[in-house]
């Protein structure tokens, strides 16, 4: 049974296996405070352990903001050591989304700034509404991103553009985010959740073990470099051959029928 949350909505569709996690602080534009980050950590831990959860949709409440950033009033009270600890805690939580063997799609509705942009980037795929805005405005406050923004933004858009966005604090509109590779898709606000669920549903129609292994191999490349990535891919390729899903997938292909995967 999932924990009860104050700042999140946690809704599992038992029929599809899609869990929707909604950051729910609408009066604060869903800004991330320490309590919300802790709840995100609990939510993703629960989701990863719950066999009923097959995929995760992450979004923010309302139409104005996915997550508009960190709670600045709370940040202003931190000391240097306290800020370092908060950064490490946030990084650990976001890493749990990034390394989840179950696919995670961010439905970005409105502002995804600071920690919100970092949270979206930790998800495997980002779908943006037409009114979405991405950005890392930390230098405006005399800060820098603390939840992985300096690392993941480079991975997604390249070093030069990442440095420009990090150093200017410029916001990126949805169409530019799509062009840069920061967003995978841009859709009208009214279609955002349905489109995101449809995309996740398509992924969930594939072999779960193969999906999980693919996510792990991609992360290995970015964590450890090309050689480690190739080694991990070869090992995962061999591992996939030992699964029931491989036997079912190949049989279905040869028999010209739809595969029925079990995740084994």
Residue 240, domain member (yes or no): yes
Q: How far apart are CA 251 and CA 234, in angstroms?
A: 22
Residue 260, domain member (yes or no): no
Both 33 and 152 in a single domain?
Answer: yes
Q: How far apart are CA 128 and CA 254, in angstroms?
A: 38
Q: Has 248 been annotated as catalytic?
A: no
pLDDT number for residue 87: 93
CATH number at residue 173: 3.90.226.10
Residue partners of 136: CB distance under 8 A and separation at least 6: 113, 114, 117, 118, 145, 149, 153, 165, 166, 169
pLDDT number for residue 49: 97
Over its length of 264 residues, how does the chain's per-residue pLDDT go in tens digits? 557 899 999 999 999 999 999 999 999 999 999 999 999 999 999 999 999 999 999 999 998 999 998 888 888 888 889 889 999 999 999 999 999 999 999 999 999 999 999 999 999 999 999 999 999 999 999 999 999 999 999 999 999 999 999 999 999 999 999 999 999 999 999 999 999 999 999 999 999 999 999 999 999 998 888 789 999 999 999 999 999 999 999 999 999 999 999 888
| In contact, 156 and 181? CB cutoff 8 Å | yes
Q: Pick the catalytic residue: 98, 130, 138, 227? A: 138
Both 228 and 199 in a single domain?
Answer: no
Q: How far apart are CA 100 and CA 215, in angstroms?
A: 8
Residue 215's domain comprises 208-254
How many domains in the chain? 2
Q: Has 138 been annotated as catalytic?
A: yes
Residue 177, domain member (yes or no): yes
pLDDT number for residue 145: 95
Question: Which tokens in the block code for residue 29?
Answer: 């534009």
Strands (E) in the chain, as ranges, are: 8-13, 18-23, 55-60, 65-67, 104-108, 111-113, 125-129, 133-135, 172-173, 185-187
Both 138 and 160 in a single domain?
Answer: yes
| In contact, 86 and 78? CB cutoff 8 Å | yes
Both 105 and 186 in a single domain?
Answer: yes
Both 73 and 90 in a single domain?
Answer: yes
Residue 161, domain member (yes or no): yes
Residue 244, domain member (yes or no): yes
> How many other C-beta atoms are found inside a 10 Å radius of the C-beta of residue 251?
11
pLDDT number for residue 215: 97
Both 216 and 116 in a single domain?
Answer: no
- The residue out of 165, 185, 204 marking a domain boundary is 204
Residue 263, domain member (yes or no): no
Both 180 and 234 in a single domain?
Answer: no
Both 193 and 126 in a single domain?
Answer: yes
Token match 């979405």: residue? 132
Both 165 and 120 in a single domain?
Answer: yes
Q: How far apart are CA 175 and CA 177, in angstroms?
A: 5
Both 61 and 192 in a single domain?
Answer: yes
Q: How far apart are CA 220 and CA 233, in angstroms?
A: 9
Q: Pick the catalytic residue: 118, 164, 191, 255? A: 118
| In contact, 125 and 181? CB cutoff 8 Å | no
**What residues form DSSP beta bridges with 60?**
23
pTM: 0.94
Both 57 and 123 in a single domain?
Answer: yes
Burial class (CB in 10 A: 0-12, 13-18, 19+), 83: middle
Token match 């858009």: residue? 157
Both 83 and 33 in a single domain?
Answer: yes
pLDDT number for residue 2: 56
Residue 259, domain member (yes or no): no
């Amino acid at each position: 049974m999932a924990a009860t949350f104050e700042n999140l909505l946690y809704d599992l569709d038992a029929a599809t296996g899609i869990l929707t996690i909604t950051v729910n602080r609408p009066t604060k534009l869903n800004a991330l405070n320490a309590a919300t980050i802790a709840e995100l950590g609990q939510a993703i831990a629960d989701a990863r352990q719950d066999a009923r959860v097959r995929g995760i949709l992450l979004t923010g409440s309302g139409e104005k903001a996915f997550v508009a950033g960190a709670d600045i009033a709370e940040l202003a009270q931190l000391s240097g050591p306290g800020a370092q600890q908060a950064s490490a805690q946030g990084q650990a939580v976001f890493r749990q989304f990034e390394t989840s063997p179950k696919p995670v799609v961010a439905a970005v509705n409105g502002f995804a700034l600071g920690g919100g942009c970092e949270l979206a980037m930790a998800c495997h795929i980002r779908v943006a509404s037409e009114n979405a805005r991405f950005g890392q405005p930390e230098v405006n406050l005399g800060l820098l991103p603390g939840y992985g923004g300096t690392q993941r933004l480079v991975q997604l858009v390249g070093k030069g553009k990442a440095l420009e966005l990090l150093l200017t604090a410029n916001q990126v509109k949805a169409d530019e985010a799509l062009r840069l590779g920061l967003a995978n898709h841009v859709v009208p606000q009214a279609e955002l959740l349905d489109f995101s669920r449809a995309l996740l549903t398509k992924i969930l129609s594939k072999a779960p073990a193969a999906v999980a292994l693919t996510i792990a191999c991609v992360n290995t490349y970015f964590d450890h470099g090309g050689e480690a990535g190739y080694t991990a891919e070869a090992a995962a390729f061999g591992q996939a051959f030992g699964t029931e899903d491989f036997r079912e997938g190949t049989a279905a292909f040869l028999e010209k029928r739809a595969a029925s995967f079990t995740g084994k």
